[in-house]
Amino acid sequence: MAIEYLKKATKKPTTGEDQTRDTVSGILKDIEEFGEKKAIEYGNKLDGWDGDIIVSKDAIEESATKVTQQLKDDLQFAFDRVYGFARKQMESIQEFEVELSPGLWAGQKLIPMNTAGCYVPGGRYAHVASAIMSIATAKAAGVENIVACSTPKKEHGGIHPAILYTMNLCGADHILAMGGVQGIASMAFGLFTGSRADILVGPGNKYVAEAKRMLFGRVGIDLFAGPTEILIIADETADPEIVAVDLVGQAEHGIDSPAWLVTTNRDFANKVMDRMQPLIEALPDVQREAANNAWRDFGEVVLCDTDEEAAKVSDQYAPEHLEVQTKNLDWYTNRLKNYGSLFVGEETTVAFGDKCSGTNHILPTKEAGRYTGGLSVHKFIKIVTTQRATEEANRDVAAITARISRLEGMEAHARTGDIRLAKYFPDETFNLRANES
């Protein structure tokens, strides 16, 4: 593989993880030991919030008066598409039962989790779309109880009104005015609501991501998430201005959000790189600082000789978001294997999926696209198995179970087969040891 880095990242998304881990561990330990009182203390210290934690119906109703009709219509548009796509996902999985051999039936059942904890970021940006992605998807999966939380701010009198309105629109059953690790801990430990989350979902900063990682096992999580990523595969037929704008569009997420370009054309790569800094400089202050740091420290441009090389490089990165803007879109769509969500052609872009087009924007990062997809109804569903058998089916199943068990040295297992054979076929003799003919 002959590849050349025209721009190479100077940092990795894992930078600073040890310090983050220590901080999060301490907060989780404190809140688990001292409960709601300690969670409130952290909320006061880290969020600057000393108001009610459980958001009242009056506050939810008031939030609706602070949201314009245009935004309400836009949020409904996004909800309809995200919820609609999630319902189609539900239709793609089914319960069934099959007779594997005479008298032996096995099947699967789909059981939604009881309680989902949905984290909605509300720090730097008001992530209304994240509320839709997590809460609407949980609803589509049939989750009965949804606890949602987001960072409150004094200037809003609590949670950002647009976020609060969206949480309610999507069907949250309980809403907590609490962000960060303390919000995650409150949902995981069942504080304020009495309902412990079976699964924690939703994007967040590195502290939120680490809290979910540490709690995994005690609760389920959607995925291990890091800073937002974008990779674009483009050739000389692509529009360099659009490609550059799309890269900047994701770099504004934060100072550690990687933006990668993989291309088979040097002149095209140079055109894109020439446009990056002017586009970044044209952003408002907060977004400019985030995008500038992200592109400087984490941005990469990779030049490949062939499409196959470009595809291999992309699969190695396993990016969260992958755009393809090339002349041979079908080839790439069929060839690429590792990514969180794929955006095919210039006519669509990551931001469409981020906000309203229907696919979920809670996606794997840090190469996790090698082994998992993003948030979907499947994350909220337990696919469990069932089995039933006739007495006659025991003639084979019980005997084989006994022989395999004894071969493994598990005598008590073997005897559960023995007793059934003795009961159902008292007049018959069976070979119950694998090493006997």
* One-character DSSP codes across 216-239: BTTBEES----S--EEEEE-TTS-
Which parts of 282-318 fold into alpha helices (H)? 285-298, 307-317
Whether residue 21 is contained in a domain is answered as: no
At 430 the pLDDT is 94
321 part of the active site: yes
CA 87, 89, 90, 96 dihedral sign is positive
Whether residue 359 is contained in a domain is answered as: yes
Query: Could you tell me if 211 and 267 lie in one domain?
Result: no
Provide the domain count of the chain. 3
Whether residue 30 is contained in a domain is answered as: no
Query: Could you tell me if 283 and 333 lie in one domain?
Result: yes
The residue among 372, 400, 429 that closes a domain is 372
Whether residue 280 is contained in a domain is answered as: yes
Annotated catalytic residue within 320, 323, 346, 361: 320
Whether residue 302 is contained in a domain is answered as: yes
- Mean pLDDT per 10-residue run, the chain (437 residues)? 89 74 96 97 95 96 96 97 97 96 97 98 83 98 98 93 97 97 98 97 93 96 90 98 98 94 98 98 96 97 97 97 98 98 97 95 93 95 97 96 95 97 96 79
Residue 427: CB atoms within 10 Å = 4
Q: What order do you get walking across the sheet with 259-263 strand by strand? A: 3-7, 300-304, 259-263, 230-234, 321-325, 341-344
Tokens at residue 202, please? 């939703």
Query: Could you tell me if 185 and 326 lie in one domain?
Result: no
What angle separates helix 240-251 from helix 285-298, to the nearest 10 degrees? 100
CATH of the domain at 147: 3.40.50.1980
The residue among 345, 372, 399 that closes a domain is 372
Whether residue 68 is contained in a domain is answered as: yes
Helix, strand or coil, per DSSP, at residue 299: coil
Q: What range does the domain containing 78 cover?
A: 35-222+378-383
Whether residue 43 is contained in a domain is answered as: yes
Query: Could you tell me if 133 and 172 lie in one domain?
Result: yes
Taking the C-alpha atoms of residue 36 and residue 39, their distance in angstroms, rounded to an integer, is 5
Taking the C-alpha atoms of residue 336 and residue 371, their distance in angstroms, rounded to an integer, is 14
Query: Could you tell me if 364 and 396 lie in one domain?
Result: no
Query: Could you tell me if 180 and 233 lie in one domain?
Result: no
Taking the C-alpha atoms of residue 84 and residue 139, their distance in angstroms, rounded to an integer, is 11
**Is residue 332 exposed (0-12), middle (13-18) or buried (19+ Cβ within 10 Å)?**
buried
Query: Could you tell me if 345 and 234 lie in one domain?
Result: yes
Query: Could you tell me if 216 and 232 lie in one domain?
Result: no
Query: Could you tell me if 55 and 196 lie in one domain?
Result: yes
Taking the C-alpha atoms of residue 376 and residue 201, their distance in angstroms, rounded to an integer, is 10
Please provide the distance, in angstroms rounded to a whole number, between the alpha carbons at the two ends of the chain. Answer: 57
The residue among 347, 364, 383 that closes a domain is 383
Q: Report how far apart, in Å, the C-alpha atoms of 427 and of each of 390, 401, 424 are.
A: 18, 20, 9
Whether residue 27 is contained in a domain is answered as: no
- State the pTM of this model: 0.91
By residue count, the chain amounts to 437
Task: Select from 210, 184, 165 the least CA-distant residue to 68.
Answer: 165
Residue pair 359/71 in contact by the 8 Å Cβ criterion: no
Query: Could you tell me if 177 and 282 lie in one domain?
Result: no
Contacts of 59 (CB under 8 A, 6+ apart): 52, 157, 158, 164
Taking the C-alpha atoms of residue 56 and residue 216, their distance in angstroms, rounded to an integer, is 30
Residue pair 129/361 in contact by the 8 Å Cβ criterion: yes
Query: Could you tell me if 419 and 312 lie in one domain?
Result: no
Q: Report how far apart, in Å, the C-alpha atoms of 232 and of each of 204, 307, 321, 325, 334 are.
A: 23, 13, 8, 7, 16
Identity of residue 291: A
Taking the C-alpha atoms of residue 128 and residue 140, their distance in angstroms, rounded to an integer, is 18
Annotated catalytic residue within 321, 323, 346, 361: 321
Query: Could you tell me if 236 and 320 lie in one domain?
Result: yes
Q: Report how far apart, in Å, the C-alpha atoms of 165 and of each of 67, 73, 81, 120, 146 are.
A: 8, 12, 18, 12, 15
The number of angstroms, rounded, from the C-alpha of 114 to the middle of its chain's C-alpha atoms is 19
Identity of residue 372: T
